């Protein structure tokens, strides 16, 4: 008997992500995702290398919502 319940995953793991990875999670092209982030660039800040930090990912989720 399987006691596990199948719940839709409405949240993403908080970790460092690239722009490409986040755009895939949201199901849009990278260019579209970057345009979504443009109004919040000051609040998000610059990426650390290729990755958004965990704090930046949290801000992105707060600003544009869950995928």
Domain of 44 in residue numbering reads as 17-64
3 domain residue, yes or no: no
Q: 34-46: per-residue pLDDT in tens?
A: 999 999 999 999 9
- pTM comes to 0.80
* Domain count within the chain: 1
Residue 33 is predicted with a pLDDT of 98
31 domain residue, yes or no: yes
8 domain residue, yes or no: no
Q: Distance between CA 18 and CA 21 in Å, rounded?
A: 5
9 domain residue, yes or no: no
Average pLDDT over residues 18-33: 97
Average pLDDT over residues 25-50: 96
5 domain residue, yes or no: no
Contact criterion met (CB below 8 Å) for 67 and 25: yes
Position with higher pLDDT, 43 vs 9: 43
44 domain residue, yes or no: yes
30 domain residue, yes or no: yes
Q: What is the DSSP string of 33-48?
A: HHHHHGGGHHHH---B
């Amino acid at each position: 008997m399987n006691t596990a319940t199948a719940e839709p995953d409405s949240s993403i793991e908080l970790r460092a992500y690239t722009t490409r990875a986040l755009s895939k999670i949201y199901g849009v092209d990278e260019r579209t995702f970057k345009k979504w982030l443009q109004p919040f660039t000051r609040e998000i800040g610059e990426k650390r290398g290729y990755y958004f930090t965990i704090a930046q990912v949290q801000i992105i989720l707060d600003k544009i919502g869950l995928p």
